[in-house]
A = this chain, B = another copy of it.
């Protein structure tokens, strides 16, 4: 998501509001999205789905190249939410292992369906986008 900006003014807590008024029941969707919506969480979960990884190894595998800082932040948030387990081995040099918890693994299924949907509709979206851009701006063509 990376919604750069949460409630600014007033309202201290939005709470579990959003009662299920609509047939589709959007209750709680925000929660998941706020967790997976940031730039790296999904990648971390995906990599850890393959097994236990150490910090450096995890960093190396993530596509696009995550900075040390962001990997730390991401992995910490996931740990705090109980999705990732962090194990420190008091050796020298230090060795820290990361793995998904049960809950973390269950997230994997969600991610899978997101990926499936994306792959299935990617062409359609690309086409729609192109058509839209063509119809709107982009008067690039002759006149």
Residues on A lying within 8 angstroms of B by beta carbon are 1-5, 8, 11, 13-14, 16-33, 36-39, 42-43, 46-47, 49-52, 61, 63-64, 73, 76-77, 79-82, 99-100, 102-103, 105-115, 117-119, 121-122, 124-125, 127-129, 131-133, 141-143
**Given known A3-B37, A23-B50, A81-B129, contact A113–B115 (CB-CB < 8 A):** no
Please name 28 pairs of A and B residues whose Cβ atoms are closer than 8 Å in the assembled complex, sorted by A. Answer: A1-B38, A3-B38, A5-B99, A11-B102, A13-B108, A16-B122, A17-B109, A18-B49, A18-B50, A18-B111, A18-B115, A19-B112, A23-B61, A24-B50, A25-B115, A26-B42, A27-B46, A28-B114, A30-B118, A31-B118, A32-B114, A32-B115, A80-B133, A80-B142, A81-B125, A103-B125, A106-B117, A110-B114
